[in-house]
Amino acid sequence: MVFILILVLTILAQIFFPWWSMAVVCYVVAALFGKRFWATTFSAFLAVFFIWAIRAFFADLQNDQLLSHRIAAMLGMPQIGDWLFLVSALLGGVIAFMAAWSGYATKRLFRKKDLKKQTVYRM
């Protein structure tokens, strides 16, 4: 559920808002619907990775991979020009992972059963 929710909301958010809106979506979805740490964060990583990989791949195809080959040559690695879209997908996935991690940590911070365990004063 978290994967599909992040996938749909990120696609909708990136139509109207800047690139970092996916981090806000991942944070909110993880804070509201995240049940387990690894399932939530890995779902966010995969959802944004797929979205950014597909968007970067099709944007790269529209200009005959001219920009990616120039960027790869500028970085000194001209042989990876065809696969440079995966770098942006990996970056988006890592940002989504960290945003979901933050959302999940915020949820755990305000859970009632965790608050009982955390006492400030011990007698």
Number of domains in the chain: 1
Dihedral pair phi/psi, residue 75, rounded to 5°: -80, -5
Check: CB of residue 114 under 8 Å from CB of residue 108: yes
The pLDDT score that the predictor gives to residue 116 is 58
Residue 121 lies in a domain: no
What domain range is 15 assigned to?
2-111
Residue 120 lies in a domain: no
Residue 28 lies in a domain: yes
Residue 30 lies in a domain: yes
Q: For residue 60, what pLDDT band results from cuts at 50, 70 and 90?
A: confident
Residue 119 lies in a domain: no
Q: pTM (2 decimals)?
A: 0.83
Place of tokens 């059963």: 113
% of the chain at pLDDT higher than 90: 59
The pLDDT score that the predictor gives to residue 122 is 45
Residue 118 lies in a domain: no
